[in-house]
Amino acid sequence: MERSQAQQTTKGDSVAEQLRTIEAFRDNLATSLKEAATQSNVELLTGDVAIAVRGDYVINNALIAPPKDVPIEEADRIFFVYLSLPANHVHAEKIPSGFYTIERVPEQKNPRAKVVNLEGTTVLELPLNIRKLELSPPYGTPPEEDVIVAQATIEQAHETLYQKTRVQAHGIRCHWSIGVWYWTWV
């Protein structure tokens, strides 16, 4: 009986240690992103950093604070990200592990974004997806302030029968006062 309790205690200690390791990883990555943004003179929206890890993929995403009097959904510089792709990924050579800004390509018929390294070089262009939805009247009392959220996802693309992995940075802004929801992603 004593041996069984000792094994459970060891398992419990092991799980607790694993959780501390995961939390330390999360905290270190968020801190590194904020420090890199400061060193790069990029102002982030406060308090919202999203992290996703799947296998050899890592994305850490934060929204860049727009210039004064520019709504976030219209800003040219959108996201500040840390990206790490597996060595066999099609874009691994173009996008080595590191920090990047995601910026809107100006004056495009179809919205495009560019991935820009910290030296200011565009390493990749890709479609910029923007959705604007009118919200139905909310149930209950809406929040007093707009909601702005950063997200990061890593998922298998169902349209390729899960053969390709999609790494996405998202930004969401809900204008509760006018009932409009913007969702921007690359």
- Tens-digit pLDDT profile for residues 97-152: 999 999 999 888 889 999 999 999 999 999 888 887 766 655 556 666 777 878 77
* pTM given for the model: 0.79
Q: Show the domain range for 44.
A: 2-185
DSSP sequence for the chain:
-HHHHHHHHHHHHHHHHHHHHHHHHHHHHHHHHHHHHHHTT-PEEEEEEEEEEETTEEEEEEEEPPPTT--GGG-SEEEEEEEE--TTSTTTTTS-SEEEEEEEPSS-SS-EEEEEETTS-EEEEEE-EEEEEEPPPPSSPPPSS-EEEEEEEEEE-GGGTT-SEEEEEEEEEEETTTTEEEEEE-
More reliable by pLDDT, 135 or 38: 38
Q: What is the mean pLDDT of residues 24-37?
A: 90
Instruction: Please report which confidence band the pLDDT of residue 175 belongs to, taking 50, 70 and 90 as the band edges.
Output: low
Q: Is residue 90 scored above 60 in pLDDT? A: yes
How many domains is the chain partitioned into structurally?
1
